[in-house]
Amino acid sequence: MAQLWVCSALLVQRVSGWYVMITVQWDVNPPQPMPHGEGIGIDVGLTSMIAT
């Protein structure tokens, strides 16, 4: 069973009303992917790439 901890809470008043922001820590065990044979890849045929 996963455990949940409240780390902090912040109460904020805005013109539209009161809000609470809660920060939590949640320990979970993600499922492991099941292997299903050979790995595959996708070739998109790029000859050059520019990042800005």
Q: What is the pLDDT of residues 13-35, one digit of tens each?
A: 999 999 999 999 988 887 887 77
DSSP state for residue 10 in the 8-state scheme: E
**Higher-scoring residue by pLDDT: 46, 8:** 8
* One-letter amino acid of 30: P
* Mean pLDDT of the chain, nearest integer: 83
**Higher-scoring residue by pLDDT: 12, 31:** 12
CA–chain centroid gap for 5, Å, is 17
**Higher-scoring residue by pLDDT: 14, 45:** 14
